[in-house]
Structure 1
């Protein structure tokens, strides 16, 4: 059985081949629990595997009472935090997430924005379009990707993948993650630094930390002030990692630039100052899997179900303890 935002999402996640594989592995119940029709059918009483996605209901105790035989939840999306509850593990229900598949396009988006920001391409394109003067739109000062330092905040799946993607370039990555040792960071290919130290040496800072009470507004006025003149802040993680008012103040002075795929608040209300702030590139939360990238998420989900059905194992299992550190 599926539980997600809309039944149409099933076709975007699972192509004909993957749906065929899925039907060979399990007996698929035709009912889809959606946001528009959240009613759980009587057939749920015999369901052992639930496939969730974006917009799935919160699986707390009362919700799980509809699925008394449920043994595993396979989340065909990114973070499971909005879907899961402790009741799952208390009832012995296993959880798997396709966050690893969703991490790939986020890392690719981040790499592209690192390179474009280093070249000042985003600002230059906007200036050229508005002024229609090639000479006047040329970037000034120190720019380019050769020999720059990129600070990665958070050794998440995405942060680690960004470090890997930077290897072919003449770019030095540095890393902040309080959960890692210096040896573990070195094994990833980036020296471990304090957050303040990373901010002071980085030309571009990319955020990949989870949203936790201790990370809320971890990039505030003091941290932004520590960044180098002309540096760029990229946020594809969670909007509340950044103090928006403090960032707006730095942008207004023209000292920093920013690329924001996530914001606080999100969505931004019409007329919000970020829409007109200088030096900021806003994208509408597109870094994660969209379009044909959704097929990768669905493919990984079917692979995971195949492992579970054939061997009882999960390659991407989420444990209750993981909730304290994942995005």
Structure 2
């Protein structure tokens, strides 16, 4: 069997560590890597030459849009593997209609998000950020000692998971060794399926009322836009924490900031809408907000998992084994 021609398309500055030298060597063993330098455009002479030979295309963050012109430009193309998370906004529907197989590495990106969420839940339960701020401000323990007698900590706390996505399920699995009580809202699952995951099925309003910590893992869809609105935020307990590592669009941020300004609830926010808040946003200044710049997903060395998963899929494809992470056109509507 001849080795298939493989082409890369991604932004090098955004995908460092995704395909380190060892993975590039693996790719060149499975197939013929035409050029280790990724394409950043599909409309120049180099791109036209490589695409004309390509049988497998590996994309990543910053890849040019794989649009309806690609099947004509890459007539031998059989497989696209996205070595990143969502393919939305990267791969056009016409690619599926052309019969090109599509897979992705979103499962690999789910691992660090779930780990980040676990850490956020544990810190939220311990009120770690408020302890830190008081301790640093006072440089004594006059106010932190009394806080330790409050009804805080992680034993027996109620955690509400919004969305049994791949990340939501991983978070549930990671939480099992701890003494949490788990609530799950996901309209796609029945009570027996939720119980099988180790949680209690509830509607979203009940979850918002009962949970000490609410963690969002729903996809960004028209139906989920601002699903966490002013009314639902008002249902949260005094001292509860909202964690968002999913999509900023899930939350009505005007309503969230209104609640946060009162000090009634806390928030751990890794994603916002827009992606970077305005420089004057109070997200940066509120003491009850722990704000991070979209780092829950794969960063640094964690990105190697994305490349490993992509190369594994290429190997499976070449020996005729079923792909583990293939995406079908019918799935696109409900994936993140």
Please report the TM-score for the alignment, with normalisation by the length of structure 1: 0.95
- Alignment pair present for 1:182 and 2:225: no
Taking the aligned partners of 2:128 and 2:231, their CA distance within structure 1 comes to 28
Match of 2:208 in 1: 199
Q: Counterpart of 2:61? A: 54
Matched, 1:110 2:117: yes
Residue 19 of structure 1 corresponds to which residue in structure 2?
24
Residues 1:96 and 2:96 aligned together: no
- Pair 1:63–1:272, CA change in 2 (3 A): farther
Long gaps (5+) in structure 1: none
Larger mean Cα displacement after TM superposition, 43-52 or 11-20: 11-20
Residue in structure 1 matching 2:152, options 115, 137, 143: 143
Distance 1:198 1:33 in 2: 46
Match of 1:284 among 286, 293, 301: 293
Task: State the distance in 2 between where 1:286 and 1:8 align.
Answer: 13
Q: CA deviation at 1:190?
A: 0.8
Aligned to 2:174: 165
Query: Which deviates more, 166-175 or 121-130?
Result: 121-130
Instruction: Report the CA distance shift for 1:27/1:167 in structure 2 as closer, same or farther (over 3 A).
Output: same
Deviation string 1:218-273 (CA, Å, 9 cap, x unpaired) is 00001101111110000000000001010011111111100000011211121112
Q: How far apart, in 2, do the equivalents of 1:46 and 1:248 lie?
A: 52
Q: CA RMSD in A?
A: 1.6
For the structure 1 residues 8 and 227, does the alpha-carbon distance in structure 2 shift closer, same or farther, using more than 3 Å as the test?
A: closer
TM-score by length of 2: 0.93
The structure-2 alpha-carbon separation of the partners of 1:241 and 1:52, relative to structure 1 and needing over 3 Å to count, comes to same
**Quick check: 1:310 aligned with 2:315?**
no
SS at match of 1:12: coil
2:161 is matched with which residue: 142, 152, 158?
Answer: 152
Please state if 1:260 is matched with 2:266: no
Assess if the C-alpha contact under 8 Å between 1:234 and 1:260 holds in 2.
Answer: yes
Indicate the residue corresponding to 2:256 in structure 1: 247
* Structure 2 residue matching 1:13: 3-state secondary structure: coil
Counterparts of 1:135 and 1:95 in 2: how far apart (Å)? 58
Q: Deviations over 1:21-69 (max 9, x none)?
A: 111101111152126x863232211201000001111212024432222
Instruction: Tell whether the 8 Å contact from 2:78 to 2:100 is kept in structure 1 after alignment.
Output: yes
From the superposition, tell whether residues 131 and 158 of structure 1 become closer, same or farther in structure 2 (CA, over 3 Å): same
Deviations 1:96-142 (A, max 9, x none): 01000110000000000000000000122123223323322453632
Does the Cα contact within 8 Å between 1:4 and 1:56 map onto a contact in 2? yes
1:17 Cα deviation from its structure 2 partner: 2.7
Indicate conservation of the 8 Å contact 2:220/2:247, yes or no: yes
Distance 2:25 2:128 in 1: 44
Partners of 2:14 and 2:62 within 8 A in 1 = no
| Secondary structure at the counterpart of residue 307 of structure 2 | helix
Runs of 5+ unmatched residues, structure 2: 1-6
Contact 2:55 2:76 (8 Å CA) reproduced: yes
Determine the structure 2 residue equivalent to 1:321.
330
2:38 match = 32
Distance in 1 (CA, whole Å) between partners of 2:211 and 2:333 is 28
How many residues are aligned here? 325
Instruction: Give per-residue Cα distances to partners, 1:172-227, cap 9 Å, x unaligned.
Output: 11100011111111111111110011111100000000000000000000110111
CA distance in 2, matches of 1:246, 1:83: 31
